[in-house]
Structure 1
Amino acid sequence: MSNAVLRILDLMQGVFRWLGADYDILRTIVEVKFKMQNRRPMASFSQYKSYNNDQDTNNSFWMMVGILSIFGGLMGISIFFIDKPYYAYALPFGYIMIMSVLTLVTDFSSLLLDTTDNVVLLPRPVTGRTILLARLVHIASYVLILSYGIALLPLIFTLFKYGILAFLAFALAVFVLAMLSVFFTSLLYMLLMQFTSEERLKDIISYFQIVFTLLVTAGYQMVGRIFTWLDLDTTAVAIRGWHYALPPLWFSGWMQFVIKGAPSFWILSLLSFGIPLLAMWILIRYLAPQFTQKIAQMGVGDGGGSEKVITQKRGGFVSRLASLMTRSHLEKAIFELSWKITARDRKFKMRTYPTFGSLIPLVFVFGKELFDPQKWSEMAQGYLYLMLLYMAHIIAGTFQSQSHFSEDFKAAWVYFATPTDSPRDVVVGNIKAILLKFYTPFYLLLSAFVLTIWGIKALDDLYLAFVASVCLSMIESKIGSQNRLPFSKSLATMKEAGQTSQFVIFMLLLPICGFGHWGLTFIPFGVPVACVFATFIAYVLYKQFDKLTWESFDL
């Protein structure tokens, strides 16, 4: 792929020289960047890392393109079902633009904001415009492949339904839309670098990655339902004032203009090509020096001067909560350590926060009943809320299992330097922190919703489900944490180490608890008696941690 891009650049070298770049240097930079990119896995598919150093390929990128192509095809079905191109193409164009921008932000930030090449380039006579154009060419190449991958099936649908002219118009629109996505992404980075620090910028990018995952999850559920929600066949084609602010509607207007010959869409057609060309010209001619200067400043100290002294307070909410929930100084220290690491570790947040997106399908399962108070009385007659309560354990189980892994796993030697004969406080302190920080607030919100619909009769069910989840967390810690202390294992061992415990908890014990709880509702006083029994089991499991020994753990 990189060789094909370089050949195309050779054909366009006159354009780059006209833009003020040194083409020979630009070509070399682009070639090196392609090699760097092909040797790293995509952030969204890091588990598919290629270990063959002899191949200059990146299978994870093509896998991502393939998956997004399937979703693009689902979005493109609107071309067949909606006879009005203005509405039919709005969904594919919107999906292409959103996925392109989010993918650029999530997967290319490490290269777009890479500062390692500053050591090589800045001391040499390389202009800022050359560096920026090299970055843009590299990113544009990937986003074009991604955009055309997403648009592959819609392109085929267009060819079959509207012919070759509409096919070419759609292909041209995808190209321009991809360039517009590059502009918006670059502008976003510039604004972020203008008002935030480098560390804060990385945090913001990690949040974009989480939003990316949630959007994919929600989008998967919405595709099959969107045509039920909208009755576009009976809706007349009309341009509203706010349509001019949405780029996907510019391009769908262009398709309406080409396919139907509608003269009223000439303004949208003009915007679809005029604005992207103007945006790229502004980016290259005026924003290039500022962007390169910001990149050069990243990762560079102030060169001296007084150091800022940061004083941390030992008190605060976390410290008071740790004192209340723990029984020893070591357990309290581990509680605070786990609480703070999970708040600051970007990789941990990337691995765990998208778990909340796994509960999004429940909104579609319950459907409109969740948002229609008139239907709540019908729901209150059953025990549908039990599924909600036990599905919530996915949050506790995921955060608990992921708390054993860290990039800084070598620092776990400090556990063995603690003056204690048992690792009990280390393990229990981590479990308490995870349950209180992530699972308990979510469960309280869920409980408020359940009590609103089902009333006070669900109190014993809420208590039993919560205790069952705590028991499952302790069982998972016993099964999955053998030889694993908090944040003590490398991320490379995560997939292999977590398979057994996750299967046992999520696929066996969790369904057994859920169905068992449902069965108890048919037995008089079954749930209250089970609450007492479950509390006793939780106490027994909790006391089992006192038997832990350091010999069962290693680094």
Structure 2
Amino acid sequence: MRDFKVLKFLDNFRGFFEKLGVDYHIMRKILQVKLIMDGRRVPTAVGGSAKNKNEDKYENGFFKSLWIYGLIGIIIVPFVVMGKNFIFQMSFVFGMLMFMIMTSLISDFSSVLLDIRDKNILFSKPVDNKTLSTAKVIHILIYMFFMTISISGIPLVAALIRHGVLFFIIFIFEIVFMDLFIVVLTALLYLVILKFFDGEKLKDMINYVQIVLSIAISIGYQLIGRVFEISNIKVIFTPKWWQYFVAPIWFGAPFEVILQGNKSIPFILLSILTVVVPIVSIFAYIKLIPSFEKNLQKLNNNSGKSEKRNKVISDVISKFICFNKEERTFFRFASNMMKNEREFKLKVYPSLGFSLIFPFIFIFNVLKDDGLSKLASSKVYLYIYFCALMLPTVIMMMKYSGRYKGAWIYKTMPIKNIANIFKGTLKAFIVNLLMPIYIIECAIFIYIFGMRIFPDLIVIFFNMMLFTVICFRVMKKSLPFSESFGVSKQGEGLIMIPLMILIGALAGVHYFCTTFNYGVYIYMIVAFVMVIAAWKKAFNISLDTINLNE
């Protein structure tokens, strides 16, 4: 069985793991199997098979996609090299790093942390909870470490050249502590949820917590900018009590203390938190591992008060928006999958949280500068287009499922027109995921800006419908829920860039139409016609263009 360099590196810490009560030999075997399985999995990141003819040349698609993270890291470089106001610079750097890492952890790796499938095999063997949980965390940390290094690799080189070896060493150590802190904090949060909920309610709560976490990450990132004041082109840091709860500030403080010699009490306390909180979190998690694994079994418990889905309402909606029996069938099928499949929700729901909060983040920035009265009379309501940021990601994810092996059912059904499969699935996505968020956004925006924006909201909805079809059209075609989830989903990441530009262009045209009389109403008619035409033409798909898993 293939060995891995990362496992050979881990061997250097064998004594540490054994002191924690972990059976290192078994943990290593579990990690070895998991890494091999990751390499054999068809990764979402790359789109091709990860399997080569020679078994020794199995390649993990996640590692092949790390260059994309490297490009993201270029954004961080200016903050690293811009000067020597380290508390300001490095707080922003770690804020961006934590934002990207936590987003990826919540959407891509929560399913690994909450995985209970391997217990059916491992718990018939002499494997204890502590060893299994530690293997899970190390498995996640391996991917997070490579992802973090890919993002921070170019900034680290820039830091070494600009600020020297000591800065570079501090940066490296803090990245390690940051990754440990993020993983353990997420695990402890899930432990709290597992402790207090059961059955179906537990599964729903985990998904809601993911949305809340996504929102909290976005808001927390915005708080970093509020910590500093700009006066005469100088950035001023004024310590306040609440800053001790903003983690990126912790990681900025040691640079000031060690490199700038700032020995003031706030900086020393913040520096101590950088080391103490991650270490305390790790020991707390180790102590609570038995409780975590015990409560994790609740995910197998379907007793609890399961929410009864109102099939009558679903049938009425499907009859109203679907135009034939086949389309209605796949509308109901996709709706059930989106509502009930836990792994799909673990990966998709964080995107919903970001879509919900992003428009208000930008509005808040305008509100701070201009005030409420000026805001209400402005055209800032067009920021609601940020709600559409979720569309490409969710549409891309609709071809994946934890139960993808059931896709054989497509071959047994007497399907007359394959377009009905995609139409029904996309309409289920619009009704179940997009519309609830958009309705909430519209209600709040109407409260802020008044009923005058109602025609604009209709135009935005039509543009979202058009954008949905375009996203579907340009992405790789696969039958809904017919492919296995990969370790990550960066494979079609490059497609996201022009799609983001496109939604920006639609918003730009909308803004232009607001500058002259009846422009919005003209645009509304044009957008409606384009939506009808797009929905008629976009689904004329040949079977040759569809990925059919054998």
Provide TM-score, normalisation by structure 1.
0.67
Change in Cα spacing, 1:311 to 1:76, as seen in structure 2 (3 Å) is closer
In structure 2, the partner of 1:241 is 241
The Cα RMSD (Å) is 6.0
1:172 aligns with 2:168: no
In structure 2, the partner of 1:551 is none
In structure 1, the partner of 2:282 is 280
1:256 aligns with 2:256: yes
CA distance in 2, matches of 1:9, 1:355: 37
The question of whether the paired residues in 1 share the 8 Å contact of 2:199 and 2:300 is answered with no
The Cα of 1:259 is off from its aligned counterpart by: 0.5
- Superposition map of 1:82-231 within 5 A: 82-197=83-198, 231=230
Change in Cα spacing, 1:219 to 1:491, as seen in structure 2 (3 Å) is farther
3-state SS of paired residue (1:287): helix
CA distance in 2, matches of 1:395, 1:275: 33
Change in Cα spacing, 1:56 to 1:388, as seen in structure 2 (3 Å) is same
1:344 aligns with 2:344: no
CA distance in 2, matches of 1:24, 1:197: 34
CA distance in 2, matches of 1:123, 1:526: 69
Unaligned runs of 5+ in 2: 541-545
Equivalent residue letter for 2:61: N
The question of whether the paired residues in 1 share the 8 Å contact of 2:43 and 2:61 is answered with no
The Cα of 1:90 is off from its aligned counterpart by: 1.0
In structure 2, the partner of 1:12 is 13
3-state SS of paired residue (1:231): strand
The question of whether the paired residues in 2 share the 8 Å contact of 1:93 and 1:248 is answered with yes
CA distance in 2, matches of 1:266, 1:520: 53
1:266 aligns with 2:268: yes
Change in Cα spacing, 1:226 to 1:72, as seen in structure 2 (3 Å) is farther
Deviations 1:58-114 (A, max 9, x none): 1324524x3334434423422333532122111222333343344334333343333
The Cα of 1:174 is off from its aligned counterpart by: 2.0
Change in Cα spacing, 1:354 to 1:258, as seen in structure 2 (3 Å) is same
The Cα of 1:287 is off from its aligned counterpart by: 1.9
3-state SS of paired residue (1:89): helix
CA distance in 1, matches of 2:10, 2:422: 57
CA distance in 2, matches of 1:123, 1:132: 16
3-state SS of paired residue (2:162): helix
Equivalent residue letter for 1:85: F
CA distance in 2, matches of 1:370, 1:283: 41
CA distance in 2, matches of 1:398, 1:76: 27
- Superposition map of 1:308-323 within 5 A: 317-318=313-314
Deviations 1:229-260 (A, max 9, x none): 96275344443222333333222211111111
- Superposition map of 1:445-524 within 5 A: 490-491=482-483
CA distance in 2, matches of 1:5, 1:426: 43
Change in Cα spacing, 1:400 to 1:75, as seen in structure 2 (3 Å) is closer
Equivalent residue letter for 1:267: L
The Cα of 1:263 is off from its aligned counterpart by: 1.6
In structure 1, the partner of 2:65 is 63
The question of whether the paired residues in 1 share the 8 Å contact of 2:22 and 2:134 is answered with yes
Change in Cα spacing, 1:520 to 1:156, as seen in structure 2 (3 Å) is closer
Deviates more, 1:395-404 or 1:3-12: 395-404
Deviations 1:196-240 (A, max 9, x none): 4476666566667778999999999x9xx979x962753444432
What fraction of aligned residue pairs are identical, expressed as a percent? 24
The question of whether the paired residues in 2 share the 8 Å contact of 1:363 and 1:370 is answered with no
Change in Cα spacing, 1:321 to 1:366, as seen in structure 2 (3 Å) is same
The Cα of 1:436 is off from its aligned counterpart by: 5.4
Change in Cα spacing, 1:517 to 1:422, as seen in structure 2 (3 Å) is farther
The Cα of 1:169 is off from its aligned counterpart by: 2.0
Deviations 1:485-505 (A, max 9, x none): xx768358xx9xx9xxx9xx9
Equivalent residue letter for 1:272: T
The Cα of 1:333 is off from its aligned counterpart by: 6.9
The question of whether the paired residues in 1 share the 8 Å contact of 2:70 and 2:150 is answered with yes
CA distance in 2, matches of 1:475, 1:280: 46
Deviates more, 1:321-330 or 1:248-257: 321-330
CA distance in 2, matches of 1:344, 1:114: 16
CA distance in 2, matches of 1:140, 1:541: 44
Change in Cα spacing, 1:318 to 1:129, as seen in structure 2 (3 Å) is closer
The question of whether the paired residues in 2 share the 8 Å contact of 1:140 and 1:178 is answered with yes
Change in Cα spacing, 1:464 to 1:107, as seen in structure 2 (3 Å) is closer
CA distance in 2, matches of 1:444, 1:415: 35
Deviates more, 1:358-367 or 1:18-27: 358-367
The question of whether the paired residues in 2 share the 8 Å contact of 1:352 and 1:398 is answered with no
CA distance in 2, matches of 1:105, 1:454: 34
The question of whether the paired residues in 2 share the 8 Å contact of 1:405 and 1:489 is answered with yes
CA distance in 2, matches of 1:519, 1:34: 53
Greater relative contact order (Cα < 8 A, sep 6+): 2
The question of whether the paired residues in 2 share the 8 Å contact of 1:192 and 1:201 is answered with yes
The Cα of 1:193 is off from its aligned counterpart by: 2.6
3-state SS of paired residue (2:4): helix
In structure 2, the partner of 1:24 is 25
**Bigger-Rg structure (1/2):** 1
Equivalent residue letter for 1:22: D
CA distance in 1, matches of 2:277, 2:190: 20
CA distance in 1, matches of 2:196, 2:84: 46
CA distance in 2, matches of 1:167, 1:12: 23
CA distance in 2, matches of 1:298, 1:131: 17
Provide TM-score, normalisation by structure 2.
0.67
Equivalent residue letter for 1:344: N
CA distance in 1, matches of 2:70, 2:172: 15
CA distance in 1, matches of 2:305, 2:452: 55
CA distance in 1, matches of 2:10, 2:529: 71
- Superposition map of 1:407-426 within 5 A: 407=404, 408-411=406-409, 416=414
Count of residue correspondences:
524
In structure 1, the partner of 2:543 is none
